Structure 1
Amino acid sequence: MQSMHLPDLAIFLPSFAGGGAERTTLTLANGIAARGFAVDLIVASAQGPFRQDVAPSIRVIDFQTVRVSKSFWPLRHYLKQNCPKAMLSIMTHTNLVAILARRWTGVSTRLVISERSIISQAAHHCQSLQEHLIYTLVPWFYPGANAIVAVSEGVARDLEAFARLPQGTVQTIYNPFNLDHIKQLATEQVTHPWFAAREPPVILATGRLGPEKDFSTLIHAFAKVRAQRQARLVILGDGSLRSELLVLAHQLGLTSDEIDLPGFVANPYAYMAKSKVFVLSSRFEGLPGVLVEAMACGVPVVSTNCAGGSSEILQGGRWGQLVPVGDAEALSQAILRVLSTPIDSLPKVHQRAQEFEQERAIDAYLKVLGLALHA
């Protein structure tokens, strides 16, 4: 793994899986590389649909390990051989490995770790003994980083309390979004027949089909919407609860002509642009990037006022409807309000999305990584 170039920045993440954290990390990596920095993207496993989105100038280091915890020795070796000026680590379990490897290697690399979600909620919902151990180690390990970044103010304050860090220790940097790229992809065609002209309005949601996204409440809300007017629900994404959600839809009397779960799609923006309303039903989030992406596509949004960044993005409801977590009745009423309001009377959400343009986030990350001086 001897390097011919000396990397300015190494970014360490688990894989190229199709999640929001991976998508925004690649946006950041590509944006920093576009400014002329030598970037290495280190992954425990180079599997996942976003592998194809890595810029050609970025070197991918694939440890080919089945678990992030197995990346400790390869990461130590990488740091010794390459000694990047800075390293950014993404997600809790990856952060612990990065802190330990840097400490044991003794290199001068500046280490910045990033927390993506409400850690107290994630710790509360963890299933395995290994996950429980990871969250137990956070207060002991996180002070070992040079800087800690969170994707929203809610995540930052929650992490400070959870990890017993002094207030103000964690810096907030909103995720970067390549808005020009999103708008370009939003113009592409969608083959799904429900998005054709003169079809009933489509309510769209996207995300991993797991408990934290609370799609079951959305399906209950949609059944209430459907009792009052014609509409369809499409949920993009894969996950463990897929069959459970389909059973629920059937129990509520919803047919396959009213609700569809097509799985993961590489370009959700084309679907967003052709939807009548985008819904985030999550129990908790970090910074729900899908809200920013939907707003960039010009679609009205409804969101739960969940722990995390949804209220920050929507500025307390100025840019979209906010409803209580787990409240199917309130969610259905908010969706119905949007569907019955003329588009010209709804907030011009693309204006708010502009404030999340990637260059602002890239500037902030270069500063915290200590690379702004090398720009």
Structure 2
Amino acid sequence: MARIAVFVSSWPQGAIQRLMLNLAAEFAAAGHAVDLLAPRGHAPAEGLPPGVRLLELAPRRAGLPGVRRHKRWFVPLALPALVRYLKRERPAALLSGGEWPNVIGLAARRLAGGATRVVVSEHIHVGASTAGAAERKRRRLLPRLMARLYPRADAIVAVSEGVRQDLLARFPLPAARVHTIYNPVITPALLAARDAPLDDPWFAPGAPPVLLNVAALRVQKDQPTLLRAFAALRAQRPARLLILGEGSQRPALETLAGELGIAADVRMPGYVPNPLAYMRRAAVFVLSSRYEGFGNVLAEALVCGCPVVSTDCPAGPAEILDNGRYGRLTPVGDVEALARALAAALDAPVDRPALEQRGLAYSAAAAAGPYLRALLGP
């Protein structure tokens, strides 16, 4: 059996980290030794799976005030420690997740030498995420490093076909080395979380239907369009909107809800540890994003049997929903179309078993095999 290293920006918080931990558990269950690597981190509260160890690649300059303010520099500063790890442990393969871990993982392999295979995983639609002038200015360095280093990867995993096509259009990559592997979202623990008890008066019998959005409160997720669409829906029928997540856009969203006259029917309680219990009970799950890489929450909502409405954003939702077969798709930023789709979803009959079966397609077990073939060869 092989030693496989998994490198991300930190442990255990974050969507990419959860996905990589799901894969690590599957790799270990298949008999491989797995090292979780990050510049900073600690084991998750539930502990590490058997056969998995956590190694912190602490940057020597991480205590400097400038580094604390700009946390993205934790990953580049971990380069020397990662080089030392690769020279010492000589893992058969290194899997990285996220753009900075990807470029630093590739640079470390080049500096360390040896035969370690490096597989990078891209979790965002690069073109959409850098579309604005301000975002292009902020991210000038990273795309250049990606263009220089990604072609040196033994394999590149795109988490959706939309991400794959964007990578091939944007960077000089051999198409045969870029593979689409959908995210390892669904695990036995996640399935068990669906049926956790929920004490919330909004879900009491006879209460108005609840629309659910689970996303960080940031520009990418475009909750202003969601609030405006909900206001149009609410003008026609009783309904409530629950947004689970936290972020910098909270004050603006609270102000907008008040201006639209819907504040009494909108709740934003912040982060909750188990959104699956809400997905199991919501009338409709809605994603209003401007862009994604995959859309993990859509797979989670489906496996909970919850009807889905999503923007047809780049990239992932159309693939998860099979171009509308398993949920409604609307244009990005279109308030009227989103309001109509929400109303239609509330009125339509629900085939929960079919939705749950679709969600199960995005399991960690299903993703582990293709990842191992990319990491270790066929």
> TM exceeds 0.5?
yes
Instruction: Tell whether 2:147 aligns with 1:139.
Output: yes
Match of 1:365 among 358, 363, 371: 371
Instruction: Tell whether 2:81 aligns with 1:74.
Output: yes
User: Counterpart of 1:213?
Assistant: 221
Contact 1:9 1:38 in 2 (8 A): yes
User: Counterpart of 2:284?
Assistant: 277
When the two structures are aligned, how many residues end up with a matched partner? 364
User: Counterpart of 2:66?
Assistant: none
Q: Which moved more, 1:292-301 or 1:139-148?
A: 139-148
Assess, with a 3 A threshold, how the Cα gap between structure 1 residues 297 and 53 changes in structure 2: closer, same or farther. Answer: farther
2:268 is paired with a residue whose SS is strand
Correspondence list, 1:302-317, <5 A: 302-317=309-324
Distance 2:247 2:58 in 1: 23
1:262 is paired with a residue whose SS is strand
- Offset of 1:358 from its aligned partner? 2.2
- Offset of 1:131 from its aligned partner? 2.7
1:149 is paired with a residue whose SS is strand
Instruction: Tell whether 2:54 aligns with 1:60.
Output: yes
Distance 2:164 2:29 in 1: 28
Match of 1:171 among 172, 179, 183: 179
Contact 1:288 1:309 in 2 (8 A): yes
2:146 is paired with a residue whose SS is helix
2:119 is paired with a residue whose SS is strand
Contact 1:19 1:207 in 2 (8 A): no
Contact 2:32 2:51 in 1 (8 A): no
Q: Which moved more, 1:275-284 or 1:64-73?
A: 64-73
Instruction: Tell whether 2:109 aligns with 1:110.
Output: no
- Offset of 1:242 from its aligned partner? 1.4
Distance 2:229 2:101 in 1: 36
Contact 1:123 1:135 in 2 (8 A): no
1:331 is paired with a residue whose SS is helix
Unaligned runs of 5+ in 2: 60-70
User: Counterpart of 2:37?
Assistant: 42
Distance 1:332 1:112 in 2: 41
Counterpart residue identity of residue 234, structure 1: L
Match of 1:13 among 1, 5, 8: 8
User: Counterpart of 1:101?
Assistant: 108
User: Counterpart of 2:233?
Assistant: 225
User: Counterpart of 2:211?
Assistant: 203
Counterpart residue identity of residue 38, structure 1: A
Assess, with a 3 A threshold, how the Cα gap between structure 1 residues 96 and 302 changes in structure 2: closer, same or farther. Answer: same
Deviation per CA, 1:254-300: give whole Å up to 9, x if none: 22x31111111111111100101001111111111111110000000
User: Counterpart of 1:91?
Assistant: 98
- Offset of 1:166 from its aligned partner? 3.6
Counterpart residue identity of residue 41, structure 2: A
Correspondence list, 1:245-324, <5 A: 245-255=253-263, 257-324=264-331
TM-score by length of 2: 0.91
Deviation per CA, 1:195-230: give whole Å up to 9, x if none: 222221110111221111111111111111111111
Match of 2:128 among 121, 127, 132: 121
Unaligned runs of 5+ in 1: 1-5
- Offset of 1:22 from its aligned partner? 2.2
Q: Which moved more, 1:195-204 or 1:359-368?
A: 195-204
Instruction: Tell whether 2:333 aligns with 1:326.
Output: yes
- Offset of 1:359 from its aligned partner? 1.8
- Offset of 1:56 from its aligned partner? 4.7
Assess, with a 3 A threshold, how the Cα gap between structure 1 residues 131 and 29 changes in structure 2: closer, same or farther. Answer: same
Counterpart residue identity of residue 150, structure 1: A
Assess, with a 3 A threshold, how the Cα gap between structure 1 residues 7 and 71 changes in structure 2: closer, same or farther. Answer: farther
Assess, with a 3 A threshold, how the Cα gap between structure 1 residues 220 and 19 changes in structure 2: closer, same or farther. Answer: farther
